[in-house]
Structure 1
């Protein structure tokens, strides 16, 4: 019952947010939809698929730094499956599915799988925070909490780097402390070399600019000439808000944050709402399609593994 509630309640919250957003601009939605040029959706889908393979390339590189050798198709499929799980499982726990896939496919330890996730998430968060800080001066009349959220995120990233440098090479006789120290050491190994930082930094910037381009193309679908820098800021705020795991996949909270940013910048409320909803819908549908294909490629074992992971959780005894 508790497990069902953990999924149903966040889903209801997401549905309520989306419903409220659409209801408040309902009278203008029909006019906005009629002005749309649907062909832009094709371009948005193509860019979205490209963005996934860019993520696959980056994840493959992270795993290689941890001495886990896989091809880009497998690394992309890992991300597809875990992100598909995140559309259903609350608190982004779907990411842990990657640990199971890597263990099954290439016999990677859970520790290395978890370290790869930490590195990927760190570069995602610090990249969008930096892009947001760069975009903020070009955006007028933005709420003060935008800068607070971006600054807070940058501070957290800086503190994490300090922890890596301070504890990355230590060890302990305590089993659990040593697991944490080993995790930090693997994260440091995968990300803090000059060359590795450059590759991961540049690829992360390209990934998030590509992600912003999807929203920009959807804005053009409604004949909106929104400056790309504003689109970047909207995507940044949307993803930082989405990082708080209130709903599965950030559905509802992401749309609300993106629409608010676009609306404050001068985009009509109805069109801002449609851009935000369609942007997230395209990204989530591509995620779902890629996840289904990836499960088919991995085989029936992956479906059974997902069911076991969601019903029982990872075996803590194996996470070494």
Structure 2
């Protein structure tokens, strides 16, 4: 990662200069920093660290030379780009001072303010201090192309994150060691948003944060990409808002209430367009023989789920019987129907640990891999079918049915082709990465963009790939698990086909097959966000909308088929789940309670099952 040269004794103030390709200014900046610090701090009570971030110019050599000639200067070197926030965090962690300061190396902020900045924290009056270019009476004269985005960004931070500060981006800040150590693990961004997130979290944690006006003069061109990085920072505002303002309030009770309200709202809206009496009439007229056959077909998918889970655990080094694991899958899926936020996944991890001693980390890894295979399979199926619909022009008809706007068809064709090909390409890249030693998917995302949002996406993709590599690092393992995943979803689609056929919709066999493949795939993708237990309401809504748009059958028939299809699957799941609970002596409520510590990030040992 990096190295620090020149050992130093413990000092009082550490100033970090984040540097990327600053060969023209770094010597002058370090010299001015040393002179200013010497004017108000005792000798040997401070240090200056050049946090050189993967430079490809002469900055590393110049920083090394300065560190060798002056004991007050240290050099932090990184062979790879850490991002401004990453470079600051690593340098602060290695610094000796109790007061941690940084400012931009272009010295845009007048150095006469440095004593004011340092002493605010060094005196103990404040825990954090930051310069401001937007305080009344001291507004910086900035070009519109930089000033307007900056004002907009700060307004959004105040609005969404509850900050009381006017300027979060000014590169002139000081933190106490206590604040940095307390908050560093909570700050996730490693680029331009890093210090903004530190300021927001410091205020929310109750630390004393002071903002004071500074004289600031723009120098040179900003290294912030006004499109790429501003978009990235916008996404970080949303991410931080979710973490600090929304997620803490999303308790199990709130999630269940929200899911119920969303489902009720969807039903109320449907009553404006659909006669539920007619829906019930359609369901009563459905062929009971075909519905029963559909249920039997869906039952067949469960042993395949058990076999797949057996193969996933085998790749992790655990040998278990498919029959036991089928029961565990039944129980967990039943838990997902009863509880929100996919708590059934924790129940399965509990069952396999309590019954077979499989550690929680391995249990969760196996579940994550299973989810990845499911997502890859249904995304690929949806993408392939969407390409077929686009080629035949049915995507345009779907858009016109749903949107009802002139010109929607042409736009829909272009969007559908792009989305479908992107989905198929993404699946291919992720699968290819899983079969290689590296992580091609993550590298491609980073090559497309280096901003914080791209890094966030790259990390998600890499977690997907890591899960795949953990359980399907061999061609044989990947093929075996991939084939069983495809089999599971084929049976799921076959169930929907039989249910829809039971309503005698008058569709040709090929049309029945294609519409069910697409509707089932998209319907299950709609359930990815756990807004309601078992995705009830989400699946039916997506399924109904697509069937209507692609076939032109009545809304009452489409909704009746969607409800009955989901009901058949959920009834089979519940019956199998409760039978498995009896056989394995498992209580859903006990399992949820036992995994509470794990869900909150603490390891716990489950109680022994009798």
Structure with the higher fraction of residues in strand conformation = 2
Contact 1:123–1:201 (Cα < 8 Å) also in 2: yes
In structure 1, the residue corresponding to 2:288 is in which secondary structure?
coil
Structure with the higher fraction of residues in helix conformation = 1
User: Counterpart in 2 of 1:173?
Assistant: none
- 1:190 aligned to 2:440? no
Contact 2:290–2:498 (Cα < 8 Å) also in 1: yes
Report 1 or 2 for greater relative contact order, CA contacts < 8 Å, sequence distance ≥ 6. Answer: 1
In structure 2, the residue corresponding to 1:142 is in which secondary structure?
helix
User: Counterpart in 2 of 1:174?
Assistant: none
How far has the Cα of 1:273 moved from its partner?
Answer: 0.5
What is the CA RMSD across the aligned residues, in angstroms?
Answer: 3.0
Counterparts of 2:336 and 2:501 in 1: how far apart (Å)? 29
User: Counterpart in 2 of 1:271?
Assistant: 557
Counterparts of 2:272 and 2:283 in 1: how far apart (Å)? 15
Counterparts of 1:125 and 1:30 in 2: how far apart (Å)? 32
User: Counterpart in 2 of 1:94?
Assistant: 344
Counterparts of 2:378 and 2:315 in 1: how far apart (Å)? 23
More deviation, 211-220/189-198: 189-198
Task: Kindly name which structure, 1 or 2, has the bigger radius of gyration based on alpha carbons.
Answer: 2
Counterparts of 1:183 and 1:15 in 2: how far apart (Å)? 34
User: Counterpart in 1 of 2:196?
Assistant: none
| Cα gap change, 1:271 to 1:301, in 2 (>3 Å) | closer
- 1:110 aligned to 2:337? no
User: Counterpart in 2 of 1:239?
Assistant: 524
User: Counterpart in 2 of 1:10?
Assistant: 259
Q: Deviation per CA, 1:128-186, whole angstroms, max 9, x where unpaired?
A: 11111211133313344766665665566545864884379xxxxxxxxxxxx999767
In structure 1, the residue corresponding to 2:361 is in which secondary structure?
helix
- 1:51 aligned to 2:323? no
Counterparts of 1:274 and 1:99 in 2: how far apart (Å)? 35
| Cα gap change, 1:70 to 1:44, in 2 (>3 Å) | same
Contact 2:255–2:531 (Cα < 8 Å) also in 1: no
Counterparts of 2:313 and 2:562 in 1: how far apart (Å)? 33
- 1:290 aligned to 2:576? yes
How far has the Cα of 1:318 moved from its partner?
Answer: 4.5
How far has the Cα of 1:18 moved from its partner?
Answer: 3.9
Contact 2:372–2:467 (Cα < 8 Å) also in 1: no
More deviation, 181-190/245-254: 181-190
Counterparts of 1:70 and 1:282 in 2: how far apart (Å)? 29
| Cα gap change, 1:33 to 1:100, in 2 (>3 Å) | closer
Contact 1:51–1:211 (Cα < 8 Å) also in 2: yes
| Cα gap change, 1:213 to 1:48, in 2 (>3 Å) | same
Counterparts of 1:107 and 1:251 in 2: how far apart (Å)? 33
How far has the Cα of 1:274 moved from its partner?
Answer: 0.6
User: Aligned residues, how many?
Assistant: 307
In structure 2, the residue corresponding to 1:316 is in which secondary structure?
coil
In structure 2, the residue corresponding to 1:91 is in which secondary structure?
coil
| Cα gap change, 1:276 to 1:152, in 2 (>3 Å) | farther
| Cα gap change, 1:125 to 1:300, in 2 (>3 Å) | closer
Counterparts of 2:604 and 2:345 in 1: how far apart (Å)? 17
How far has the Cα of 1:31 moved from its partner?
Answer: 4.6
Correspondence for 2:323 among 61, 68, 73: 73
More deviation, 157-166/185-194: 157-166
User: Counterpart in 1 of 2:404?
Assistant: none
In structure 1, the residue corresponding to 2:603 is in which secondary structure?
helix
Contact 2:384–2:420 (Cα < 8 Å) also in 1: no
- Give the TM-score taking structure 2 as reference length: 0.46
- 1:166 aligned to 2:435? no
Contact 1:56–1:73 (Cα < 8 Å) also in 2: yes
User: Counterpart in 1 of 2:235?
Assistant: none
Contact 1:91–1:248 (Cα < 8 Å) also in 2: yes
Q: Deviation per CA, 1:115-139, whole angstroms, max 9, x where unpaired?
A: 1112111111111111112111333
In structure 2, the residue corresponding to 1:245 is in which secondary structure?
coil
Q: Deviation per CA, 1:49-93, whole angstroms, max 9, x where unpaired?
A: 111111111111111111112111111111111111111322223
More deviation, 299-308/52-61: 299-308
Counterparts of 2:423 and 2:282 in 1: how far apart (Å)? 35
| Cα gap change, 1:183 to 1:155, in 2 (>3 Å) | closer
How far has the Cα of 1:21 moved from its partner?
Answer: 3.3
Contact 2:597–2:604 (Cα < 8 Å) also in 1: no
Counterparts of 2:569 and 2:339 in 1: how far apart (Å)? 17
User: Counterpart in 2 of 1:213?
Assistant: 494
Correspondence for 1:256 among 531, 538, 541: 541
- 1:142 aligned to 2:398? yes
- 1:228 aligned to 2:513? yes
Counterparts of 2:499 and 2:379 in 1: how far apart (Å)? 23
Unaligned runs of 5+ in 1: 169-180
In structure 2, the residue corresponding to 1:87 is in which secondary structure?
helix
| Cα gap change, 1:196 to 1:142, in 2 (>3 Å) | farther
- Give the TM-score taking structure 1 as reference length: 0.84
Counterparts of 2:501 and 2:467 in 1: how far apart (Å)? 43
Contact 1:54–1:207 (Cα < 8 Å) also in 2: yes
